[in-house]
């Protein structure tokens, strides 16, 4: 088993000050086209990272059609230093879901009514969009 495992590195993935370790693991999954399992999906959904590249990679790994994930994918699509991340994020984006996500997170709900992860992703989305 690889040492680059989301499931076996839960503490590193979730620890606020582990940007380097987290990004190494996430990038390994992205570079090797590794599909995540349900445990890893849960860990990634708990992750409160504010670093753009990691947010984008998480969006690609989750590869779901949720409103929040659409915002993650936009952040990933706007990454200029990671071509694979940018390309994959763009390919996974759905413009209709993105419209709904923007409406939900920026028009229908106030910042204070969002959970911590939603607040972080909304804030970082504002920087790149």
pLDDT tens track for 60-109: 999 999 999 999 999 999 999 999 999 999 999 999 999 999 999 999 99
User: pLDDT class for 3, splitting at 50, 70, 90?
Assistant: confident
- Higher per-residue pLDDT: 16 or 46: 46
Residues 121, 71: contact at Cβ < 8 Å?
Answer: yes
Measured CA to CA in angstroms, residue 129 lies from 14, 73, 76, 98 at distances of: 26, 11, 11, 12
Instruction: Tell me whether residue 34 is exposed, middle or buried, using C-beta atoms within 10 angstroms of its C-beta: 0 to 12, 13 to 18, 19 or more.
Output: middle
Question: Measured on CA atoms in the order 87, 91, 96, 102, is the torsion positive or negative?
Answer: negative
Distance CA 83, CA 63 (A): 17
Asked whether the predicted pLDDT for residue 2 surpasses 70, the reply is no
Mean pLDDT score of the chain, rounded to an integer? 96
User: pLDDT class for 15, splitting at 50, 70, 90?
Assistant: very high
Residues 58, 47: contact at Cβ < 8 Å?
Answer: yes
| DSSP 8-class letter at 9 | G
Map out the domains of the chain as residue ranges. 7-128
pTM, whole model, 2 decimals?
0.95
Asked whether the predicted pLDDT for residue 1 surpasses 60, the reply is no
Please state, for a pLDDT cut of 90, what percent of the chain lies above it.
95
Residues 61, 44: contact at Cβ < 8 Å?
Answer: yes
């Amino acid at each position: 088993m690889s040492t680059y495992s989301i499931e076996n590195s839960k503490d590193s993935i979730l620890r606020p000050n582990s940007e380097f370790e987290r990004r190494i693991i996430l990038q390994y999954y992205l570079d090797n086209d590794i599909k995540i399992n349900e445990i890893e999906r849960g860990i990634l959904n708990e992750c409160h990272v504010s670093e753009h590249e990691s947010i984008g990679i998480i969006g690609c790994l989750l590869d779901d059609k949720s409103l929040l994930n659409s915002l993650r994918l936009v952040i990933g699509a706007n990454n200029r230093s990671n071509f694979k991340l940018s390309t994959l994020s763009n390919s996974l984006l759905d413009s209709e879901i993105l419209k709904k996500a923007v409406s939900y997170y920026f028009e229908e709900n106030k910042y204070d009514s969002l959970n911590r992860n939603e607040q972080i992703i909304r804030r970082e989305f504002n920087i790149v969009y």
